[in-house]
Chains A and B, each alone.
Chain A
């Protein structure tokens, strides 16, 4: 039976950085779609460099637990996994539609189905919406509400913003929320001025980040004016400039993300059986749009 490897960033400084990878891996293990499920990290162990030798299977599905296509998914992970003949052109992506490619890892001679990152999969839109439901406690949240999908944004990699805009557009197409905006930390339009971009009195803010850490727990709450000092915490919702801000924290911690990891593997040909249903039951998700 093939193995699933979840490739995440991890951290040398922050122990919480690996929590989403562990949590989603556990959900998928419990669903039984793969004999082996292993987390791998850039900054922790097992490293990308060694993870393939820690699984017994000869066939491995690797799904990057990253938000966007770019440096990590196109350079670092394929290089560290020693994917023979990797060529980013084979992904034929414009920044949000990388799918999968099957190659051999040359140190272990295993077949590796290297998948696109979770962040750009269409099902991620459902996770963003589910996050809004979770944070408001309302499974029907939408009417009377605005929603902001927040990304880091950077001048160095245009794909970073593309993933945010892609999901914002998909949420908009559902016509579930009154208003939808893509906002950023480091480029316009900025999350600091969140209230200015919405007419609605209630706005859910969902950062498209994998783990809760410095940006999602310190920067963004302070920038939006939810709190002067992140250590003092903030309420959900908090009223800022007459707008109630429902701050959701990193989308990557949403249990339903396990579903996106599985979908990535299934898209690459993995036989996941009824695991998708099991995972959705466990994580409170509904069938993906279009299913």
Chain B
């Protein structure tokens, strides 16, 4: 606690203060100062100050939260588990750091001077990496650049895809810059998480989103119920996105696809999902046909292996010489050489409407 915090508390006493077990009031010239242990009434300013000096953690803790906006306050209190831990326990734990996972981010709250909090942010997979081994940042705007490309330098159009690259940390952030940094990595996640906590999350379901599309996206509303189910299975699961899907087909029609385990909610289909939905709405307008062409059982299995490997993003993991894997590049090249013509199309296909 410092003098600024103490005088702010004296000033706030006229309106009454209640924060994490500290309760302060002033009526006329008399103060009340209550801690979780004891209540002191009828105090003059000198005795009031003395009690504040004896309880510096309670005072600095109040002062820290008093300055925060509602959303920031809720988020930062969640990080340090303010609902579960008392001020004393929290201050002791904050010396070591209190952490939460937020998508692929690891947010750690620590104790700064006079009860101020300082925050650190890094990739969850870098949790045990020595700080010096990580590139140090302190400007929230840097998060935009880090989030632009994955580990292999490929562009990440979806900010909440679980492909955030590692090797960096933000240190010494205050609460405002912490939230800004988190929201540059994962835009609108803190604010939507807070709305959800307050029971105020405005979910826009697929049908409503589809109905509002215009231009080339107007076709999206033609995707049927199975199509929407497959859309969610393709795009909106933990392996593809850190958000937890809260939208469904519509208010009455829930999707079977699991919502995911993300800390923060997804309140409506995103632009990537709508762009994909447009593609599938167009494809789904085609009628099925019957094709007849020859494959050995192993070749049929191999095509299924290839489908699985591509869909799961596993092609990079298949070892060069692992010709036992149906999706191995040499296996695929052999199949192509054997069964397709120079344009890569299957040969001798019989097609029936």
Contacts and interface: CB of A to CB of B under 8 A. Distances in A.
B188 A53 contact: yes
Nearest to B183: A54
Interface residues of B, number: 28
B148 interface: yes
A53 B191 contact: yes
B236 to A, nearest CB: 15
A289 interface: no
B69 A53 contact: no
Contacts of B214: 71, 75-76, 79
Nearest to A56: B69
A42 B144 CA distance: 17
A11 B275 CA distance: 11
A14 interface: yes
B307 interface: no
A47 B160 CA distance: 13
B272 interface: yes
B35 to A, nearest CB: 32
Contact of A45 (B149, B155, B159, B267): B159
Contact of A43 (B148, B157, B191, B215): B157
B155 A13 contact: yes
B188 A54 contact: yes
Interface in B194-250: 195, 202, 212, 214-215
A41 to B, nearest CB: 8
A79 B217 CA distance: 14
Interface string A175-193: 0000000000000000000
Interface string A1-40: 0000000000111110000001000100000000000000
A84 interface: no
B155 A46 contact: no
Interface in A187-216: none
A276 to B, nearest CB: 22
Most chain B beta-carbon neighbours within 10 Å: one of A26, A45, A49: A45
Nearest to B275: A12
Contact of A54 (B69, B141, B160, B187): B187
Nearest to A50: B188
B216 to A, nearest CB: 10
A14 B156 CA distance: 9
A56 B69 CA distance: 8
A44 B155 contact: no
Interface residues of A, number: 24
B141 A12 contact: no
Contact of A22 (B69, B144, B186, B272): B144
A107 interface: yes
A47 B192 CA distance: 13
Contacts, number: 61
B157 A12 contact: yes
A31 to B, nearest CB: 15
B268 interface: yes
B212 A79 contact: yes
Interface in B41-71: 69, 71
Contacts of B353: none
Contacts of A107: 202
Contacts of B191: 50, 53-54
A71 to B, nearest CB: 6
A47 B191 CA distance: 13
B271 A43 contact: yes
B271 A47 contact: yes
B286 to A, nearest CB: 24
Interface in B155-198: 155, 157-160, 183, 186-188, 191-192, 195
B192 A50 contact: yes
Interface in A47-77: 47, 49-51, 53-54, 56, 71, 75-76
Contacts of B149: 15
Given A11-B157, A75-B214, A45 B69 contact: no
Interface in B104-160: 141, 144, 148-149, 155, 157-160
Interface of B: 69, 71, 141, 144, 148-149, 155, 157-160, 183, 186-188, 191-192, 195, 202, 212, 214-215, 267-268, 270-272, 275
11 contacts: A12-B272, A13-B157, A15-B155, A44-B159, A45-B187, A46-B187, A50-B187, A53-B188, A54-B191, A56-B71, A71-B214
